[in-house]
Chains A and B, each alone.
Chain A
Amino acid sequence: MTSKLSFPVPPPDGSEVAALRLEVRAFLDEALSGMSPRERARSWSGFDAAFSRKTAERGWIGMTWPRQYGGGERSAMERYVVLEEMLAAGAPVAAHWIADRQSGPTLLRFGTEAQKRMILPRIAAGECFFCIGMSEPDSGSDLAATRTRARATPGGFIVNGTKVWTTYAHFAHYMILFCRTGDQDKRHGGTSQFLVDMTTPGVNVRPILNLAGEHDFNEVTFQDVFLPDSALIGELGNGWTQVTSELALERSGPERFLSSFTLLDQMVGIVAHNPQPANLAQIGRLVAHTAVLRNLSRSVASILQHGGEAGLQAALVKDLGAELEQEIPEVARLLLAREPTIAGDDFSAVLAHLILSSPGFSLRGGTREILRGIIARGLSLR
Chain B
Amino acid sequence: MNEADQILEDTAIRLFNDFFDTDALRRAEAGEWPASAWEALEATGLPLAFVAESQGGFGAVEAANLVMVAGRHSVPLPLAETLIANRLLSAAGLALPGGPLTIGPVQSDDALHLSRATEGWHLRGTAHRIPWGRCAGIVVLAQYDGRDYLASIPVGAARVDRDANLAREPRDTLHFDVALPEGAVALAPTGIGRASILDFGAALRSLAMAGALQRLVEITVAYAGERSQFGQPIGKFQAIQHNLAIMAGQAAAAVAAAKMVAEALDPAVDRLRVAIAKARTGEAVGKAVALAHQIHGAIGIAQEHPLHFLTTRLWSWRDEFGNEAGWNAYIGRQAVASARLWPFITAA
Which residues does A use to contact B, with CB under 8 Å? 1-2, 5, 7, 9, 21, 25, 84-85, 88-89, 261, 264-265, 268, 271-272, 275, 277, 279-285, 287-296, 299, 316, 319-320, 369, 371-373, 375-376, 378-382
Contact = CB atoms under 8 A, between A and B. Distances in A.
Given A285-B328, A375-B245, A376-B245, A299 B256 contact: yes
B203 interface: no
Nearest to A81: B346
Interface in B215-248: 217-218, 221, 224-225, 235-236, 238, 240-242, 244-246, 248
B253 A293 contact: yes
A84 B346 CA distance: 10
Question: 6 closest pairs, A vs B, by CB?
Answer: A284-B331, A280-B332, A284-B332, A284-B328, A376-B241, A372-B245
B265 interface: no
Interface of B: 214, 217-218, 221, 224-225, 235-236, 238, 240-242, 244-246, 248-249, 252-253, 255-257, 259-260, 263, 275-276, 279-280, 283, 324-325, 327-336, 341-346, 348
Given A261-B342, A283-B331, A289 B280 contact: yes
Which interface residue of B217, B327, B334, B346 has the most chain A CB atoms within 10 A?
Answer: B346
Given A291-B345, A319-B249, A281 B332 contact: yes
A265 B249 contact: no
B342 A292 contact: no
Given A279-B332, A284-B275, A381-B224, A291 B348 contact: yes
A281 B221 contact: no
Nearest to B215: A2
A299 B257 CA distance: 12
B279 A288 contact: yes
B280 A379 contact: no
A288 B328 CA distance: 8
Contacts of B221: 1, 379-381
30 contacts: A1-B214, A9-B259, A9-B263, A280-B328, A281-B332, A283-B328, A283-B335, A283-B336, A284-B327, A284-B331, A285-B331, A287-B348, A288-B276, A288-B280, A290-B345, A291-B345, A291-B348, A292-B280, A294-B345, A295-B256, A299-B256, A319-B245, A320-B249, A371-B245, A372-B245, A373-B241, A378-B248, A381-B225, A381-B235, A381-B241
A285 B280 CA distance: 8
A25 B339 CA distance: 14
Nearest to A89: B342
Contacts of A277: 325, 329
A222 to B, nearest CB: 34
Given A283-B336, A295-B260, A376-B241, A21 B341 contact: no
A268 B256 contact: no
B331 A373 contact: no
Given A268-B336, A280-B333, A291-B345, A1 B217 contact: yes
A379 B252 CA distance: 12
A277 B323 CA distance: 14
B248 A287 contact: no
Contacts of A280: 328-329, 332-333, 336
